Amino acid sequence: MVQVSLVYAAGGLLALVGAVFCIYWYVYFKRNFQGELLTEGPYGIVRHPFYTGFIMLALGLAIVLPIYETKLLLVITLAVMYVYVPKEEEQMIQEYKKKYEAYKKKVPWRLIPYLY
């Protein structure tokens, strides 16, 4: 019983942290984006911070509430990220060229620090 409670607590914490990260990204982006490449704030941790937060939120929800809908949300989220993130990176390279290449060297992780 204790192990199940810990799993739910971990899932809830993951969902909460993901939601907070998404909100933080939104506020940071609205205050700072003026057409130039953002490389500080959440962008200093991973290159796609909103996606990171949303993945954490979807994973946490699937853990806390393991029903068809939350599992489907997680699968769709991961599939969309798998397809969309590389395409977005290509677009960023085309738009920002060497600035984005330098940024990729400074922040090597797309979504998960030290992993991916």
E strands within the chain?
A: none
User: Looking at the domain assignment, is residue 58 inside a domain?
Assistant: yes
User: Looking at the domain assignment, is residue 114 inside a domain?
Assistant: no
Number of domains composing the chain: 1
User: Looking at the domain assignment, is residue 116 inside a domain?
Assistant: no
User: Looking at the domain assignment, is residue 85 inside a domain?
Assistant: yes
Between CA 107 and CA 113, with CA 112 as vertex, the angle to 5 degrees is 50
- With cut-offs at 50, 70 and 90, classify the pLDDT of residue 1: low
Task: Show Cβ contacts of residue 98 under 8 Å, excluding neighbours closer than 6 positions.
Answer: none
Range of the domain at 27: 2-106
Percentage of the chain lying above the pLDDT 70 cut = 98
User: Looking at the domain assignment, is residue 42 inside a domain?
Assistant: yes
User: Looking at the domain assignment, is residue 80 inside a domain?
Assistant: yes
CB 54 within 8 A of CB 18: yes
| Average pLDDT score over residue span 51-69 | 97
pLDDT of residue 4: 76
Predicted TM-score of the model (pTM): 0.89
Residue 32, amino acid: N
User: Looking at the domain assignment, is residue 79 inside a domain?
Assistant: yes
CB 96 within 8 A of CB 43: no
User: Looking at the domain assignment, is residue 29 inside a domain?
Assistant: yes
